[in-house]
Amino acid sequence: MATMTCIEDLRRRARHTVPKMFFDYAEAGSYAEETLRANRADLERIKLRQRVLVDVSRRDLATTIIGETVPLPLALGPVGLAGMQHRDGEIAACRAAQAAGIPFTLSTMSVCSIEDVAGAVDKPFWFQLYVMKDRGFARSLVERAAAAKCSALMLTIDLQVLGQRHCDARNGLSVPPEIKIRNVLDIATKPRWALGMLMGKRKTFGNLAGYARAGTNVNSLASWISTQFDPALSWKDVEWIRSLWPGKLILKGVLDVDDARLAVKTGASALVVSNHGGRQLDGAPSSISALPKIAEAVGSEIEIMFDGGIRSGQDLMRALALGARSCLIGRAYIYGLAAGGQTGVAQAIEFIRKELDVTMALCGVNSVREIGRQVIASD
Ligand SMILES: Cc1cc2nc3c(=O)[nH]c(=O)nc-3n(C[C@H](O)[C@H](O)[C@H](O)COP(=O)(O)O)c2cc1C
């Protein structure tokens, strides 16, 4: 790979490496993408406070996330179809995360199944659950995650119905891609991807094998989701999941203080302040603007995680300053995965780690545990 210096370099490389329909799938937000843009714009608006002549020679980025010791406050979030960005993409990303000592979350909508990933890595990973109407299937996913020794269950609670991404419909996103002239011409310009995929283990939704019909295009996938995902999902169902999964539970997709208070009552280990990377409710506030209120309201009762728009260690610093104990990244590692498989994901993590380290130094901070409002520049 040519010299890569930051997530944006990986993003540019990803654009040239994977078929357009999969790059767009990762890149896009729902509808007019207002919330997607707000995630980035609001992070950039937060300015960090430069401090000088503080002894910052003993910097320590280590902390814990839901009790797991990590060398930096970062985890890889659940991303559907990561295995279409690169051959066996979920395995590659999980290996990179584990080599870096941080958690990896496998999506329900992954290409490699829970068992595929468990068989290919040495350490436990986290599993993200979407609850389908067919509760028997949801239960079986939880049981499979337990059998695979997953160390946490992340229940996503902001996708009872699916926000539309216009580009997926326009591109005819399908898994695997349909043999259409437009796709064949595009894939012909991405030979490395095509060869890799040919050699890969799976080409469709690994966890749903035998449950969903494979090879459907996004319109039928979207309509499949609308028939399978449950708009009636409620806090009662979280109790039910809790009864099936006695281990650590993370609730992902909280953007409102009232919901955060309800999340505390479930006894979950953590909540993720998230708007699904701007892919669900368009017009919702940015994740970073929602974070301080939620952290203030419930931060002493439940561990606060954050995602949405993180592309650098500086962004990580901003989220930690406003009340997150740790952050998830989605697109930042997906660009790395698309650009260079396991190596690309490792690079994405390392860019963010180094940037956080330097940012801490330039803000006069020695430990991630010290990061708070004092690192934010006042207007
Ligand atoms: C391509 C893509 C697929 C995603 N799939 C899932 C998923 O299957 N389950 C889930 O809970 N969140 C999913 N998300 C949301 C991410 O977990 C995360 O909340 C979001 O990417 C954070 O924003 P960021 O990409 O700006 O870091 C997905 C995000 C992207 C970009």
> 2: pLDDT confidence band, cut at 50, 70 and 90?
confident
The residue whose CA is least distant from atom 20 of ligand 1 is 277
Asked whether the predicted pLDDT for residue 218 surpasses 90, the reply is: no
Q: What is the pLDDT of residue 96?
A: 98
Give the integer Cα–Cα distance in Å for 316 and 153. 23
- Tell me the per-residue pLDDT of 31-57, one tens digit each, with 9 for 90 and over: 999 999 999 999 999 999 999 999 999
**In the structure encoding, which two tokens stand for residue 301, read together?**
């009762």
pLDDT at residue 1, as a whole number: 57
What integer pLDDT is reported at residue 379 of this predicted model? Answer: 63
pLDDT interval class at 290 (50, 70, 90):
very high
What is the model's pTM?
0.96
Interval 238-279: pLDDT, tens: 999 999 999 999 999 999 999 999 999 999 999 999 999 999
Mean pLDDT calculated for residue range 125-146: 95
The whole-angstrom separation of Cα 103 and Cα 70 is 8
Output the 3-class SS for the chain: CCCCCCHHHHHHHHHHHCCHHHHHHHHCCCCCCHHHHHHHHHHHHCCECCCCCCCCCCCECCEEECCEEECCCEEECCCCCHHHCCCCHHHHHHHHHHHHCCCEEECCCCCCCHHHHHHHCCCCCEEEECCECCHHHHHHHHHHHHHCCCCEEEEECCCCCCCCCHHHHHHCCECCCCCCHHHHHHHHCCHHHHHHHHHCCCCCCHHHCCCCCCCCEHHHHHHHHHHHECCCCCHHHHHHHHHHCCCEEEEEEECCHHHHHHHHHCCCCEEEECCHHHCCCCCCCCHHHHHHHHHHHHCCCCEEEECCCCCCHHHHHHHHHCCCCEEEECHHHHHHHHHHHHHHHHHHHHHHHHHHHHHHHHCCCCEHHHCCHHHECCC
> Residue 78 Cα, ligand 1 centroid: separation in angstroms?
6
Instruction: Measure 50 CA to ligand 1 centroid, in angstroms.
Output: 32
Q: Is the pLDDT of residue 222 over 90?
A: no
Alpha-carbon gap, residue 186 to 30, rounded angstroms: 24
| Ligand 1 centroid, distance to 241 Cα (angstroms) | 21
Going from the Cα of 175 to the center of ligand 1, the distance in angstroms, rounded, reads 18
Q: Convert the pLDDT of each residue in 336-370 to its tens digit.
A: 999 999 999 999 999 999 999 999 999 999 999 99
pLDDT band for 172, please (50, 70, 90 cuts): confident
Confidence class for position 144, pLDDT limits 50, 70, 90:
very high
Q: State the closest ligand 1 atom to the C-alpha of 40, by its place in the atom list counted from 1.
A: 26
Tokens for 224, please give them.
Answer: 């499949």
Mutate which of 279, 311, 349 for ligand 1 pocket (most atoms within 8 A of beta carbon): 279
- 16 as an active site residue: the answer is no
Task: Grade residue 174 by pLDDT with cuts at 50, 70 and 90.
Answer: confident
CA distance 167 to 30: 9
> Does residue 163 have its Cβ closer than 6 Å to ligand 1?
no
Task: Report which ligand 1 atom has the smallest distance to the Cα of 274.
Answer: 19
Q: Return the pLDDT at 175.
A: 74
Sheet holding 126-129, edge to edge: 74-76, 326-329, 303-306, 270-273, 248-254, 152-156, 126-129, 105-106
pLDDT digits (tens, 9 = 90+) for 177-211: 777 788 888 888 998 898 898 888 788 888 987 77
Beta-carbon contacts of 164 under 8 Å, excluding residues fewer than 6 positions away, are 30, 31, 222
| Angstrom distance (rounded) from CA 2 to CA 15 | 15
Mean pLDDT of 59-75: 98
Asked if the peptide bond before residue 176 counts as cis, ω within 30 degrees of 0, the response is yes
Task: Single out the catalytic residue among 16, 86, 166, 276.
Answer: 276
Residue 66 pLDDT exceeds 70: yes
Is pLDDT above 70 for 91? yes
- Mean pLDDT (the chain) is 94
Residue 220: per-residue pLDDT: 61
Percent above pLDDT 90 for the chain: 80
From residue 284, alpha-carbon distances to 31, 89, 254, 259, 261 in Å are 12, 30, 11, 14, 19
Q: Which residues contact 118 (CB under 8 A, 6 or more apart)?
A: 125, 148, 149
| Ligand 1 close to Cβ of residue 79 (< 6 A) | yes
Cα 190 to middle of ligand 1, angstroms: 24
**CB distance 295 to 254 below 8 Å:** no
* Protein residue with least CA distance to atom 1, ligand 1: 26
Kindly tell me if the per-residue pLDDT of 219 is higher than 60. Answer: no
Instruction: Say which residue, 2 or 302, is predicted with more confidence.
Output: 302
Q: Is the beta carbon of 310 within 6 A of some atom in ligand 1?
A: yes
Q: With 70 as the cut, is the pLDDT of residue 145 above it?
A: yes
What percent of the chain shows pLDDT beyond 70? 96
